[in-house]
Structure 1
Amino acid sequence: MVHVEQPWSAVVLAGGAGRRLGGVDKPGLIIRGRTLLDRVLAALPGAHEIVIVGPRRETEAKVRWTREPTPGSGPLAALAAGLDLITTDRVVLLAADLPQITPTTITRLRQAVTHTGAVLTDSDHHPQWLLSAWPTDLLRRALPADSANASLRGTLTPLSPVRVDDMDGSARDIDVPSDLDAFPE
């Protein structure tokens, strides 16, 4: 029997204000010669479609752009805006500030999805909601009527996703200036 891979898409959230980094545009930060956003996009080979929620930027990949109705209204509102453009039955949800994300991690998450989702857990076993994979309809049904400023964690936790251990540092994100120290040029 030949295994036919199910088409999948990605929603990349790239609209945060970067407050803990002094207002720096995190997706545009350059790590080892490549923007954080392009590092994330490089981990998505085989995606049927990639939707980025945030202000338009130059990218190395072909993507679709959208914004939440009220920019800055949080990751759940951004997810809702991204899901509006997704046409596949499976979707990967990512942040744009994951310098070590790998295609292998994306594959592991996608393969763990059954009737529920899959979320990567960091080295402390905390779920990294912005590094997860889901049945698209499950996410759409879970969204509150008004997702502006609603809790992403509070919406996704009750879905009881499978937890997938981070094996290669993919869960490491950039939040504060000292996080950049691990990536000297």
Structure 2
Amino acid sequence: MTYAVIVLTGGKGERLGGVDKAALSFRDGTLLEHVLSVVDDAAQKVVVGPEKDLPGVLWAREDPPGGGPLAGLAAGLARVTEEWVAVLAVDQPGLTKDTIARLRAPGRNAVLRDDRVQWLIGFWNAAELREALPEEPADLPLRRTLLKLEPVEVSALLGEARDVDTPDDLDTLHSG
């Protein structure tokens, strides 16, 4: 089954002092390059946020910029032509190719779950996503829209769902 990926990078990074999370160093590249590497088999790669020089990526921007993850999802989905789409946040250093394979395995809408549902680590039917999106998605909660699609919850492995939101998270990222 071919699929697309939407990587949401448009967050303000307020708890990190306005840092561009997509450009944060991780391993031998950036967080954005890491997330794209775990979906290198995706037929389409759509990144929502400020454009960077990355080959093979389609770019989109939420309307208005800073309009939240649901607006970002809507903008990215407008570029997707595949039937299935992985939706990921850029600040997920624990993601692996196995994460994506496990989300794809049920063959239906799925989200990762550790101690809570990780709405920005999921695999979705694009048509169902489009149908569920509100007409004006800016500043509306992503969870409320995705919950309507009754996704299967896939258990996260240790560290798989960690994200980078605070200076402590950034320190952990660079020390681990």
Q: TM-score range by the shorter chain?
A: over 0.9
Name the structure 1 match of 2:50.
55
Equivalent position of 2:68 in the other structure: 74
CA distance in structure 1 between the aligned counterparts of 2:64 and 2:53, rounded to whole angstroms: 22
Task: Provide the TM-score with structure 1 as the length reference.
Answer: 0.90
After superposition, residues 1-185 of structure 1 pair within 5 angstroms as: 6-59=1-54, 62-114=56-108, 117-122=109-114, 124=115, 126-184=116-174
Aligned-residue offset at 1:168: 4.6
The whole-number CA distance in structure 2 between the counterparts of 1:37 and 1:165 is 23
AA at the equivalent of 2:15? R
Deviation at 1:78, TM superposition (A): 0.5
TM-score normalised according to structure 2 size: 0.95
Residues in 2 aligned to 1:43 and 1:105: alpha-carbon distance in whole angstroms: 8
Q: Give the unaligned 5+ runs of structure 2.
A: none
1:15-62: CA deviation from partner (whole Å, max 9, x where unpaired): 111001011111111022321100100100210000000001233x52
Is the contact made by 1:89 and 1:136 (CA closer than 8 Å) also made in structure 2?
yes
The one-letter amino acid of 1:121's match is R
Q: Give me the whole-angstrom Cα distance separating, in 2, the residues matched to 1:37 and 1:155.
A: 25
How much does 1:142 deviate?
0.3
CA deviation map 1:102-125 (0-9, x unaligned): 0110011011232xx100012x1x
Distance 1:36 1:163 in 2: 25
Length, aligned pairs only? 175
In structure 1, give the amino acid aligned to 2:48: V
Moved over 4 A (4+): none
Q: Which runs of 5+ in 1 are unaligned?
A: 1-5
AA at the equivalent of 1:67? R
Partner Cα distance (1:73, 1:139) in 2: 18
Taking only aligned residues, the RMSD between alpha carbons, in angstroms, comes to: 1.2
AA aligned to 2:80 is: I
Q: Partner residue of 1:3?
A: none
Residues in 2 aligned to 1:51 and 1:134: alpha-carbon distance in whole angstroms:
15
CA distance, structure 1, for counterparts of residue 155 and residue 90 of structure 2 = 20
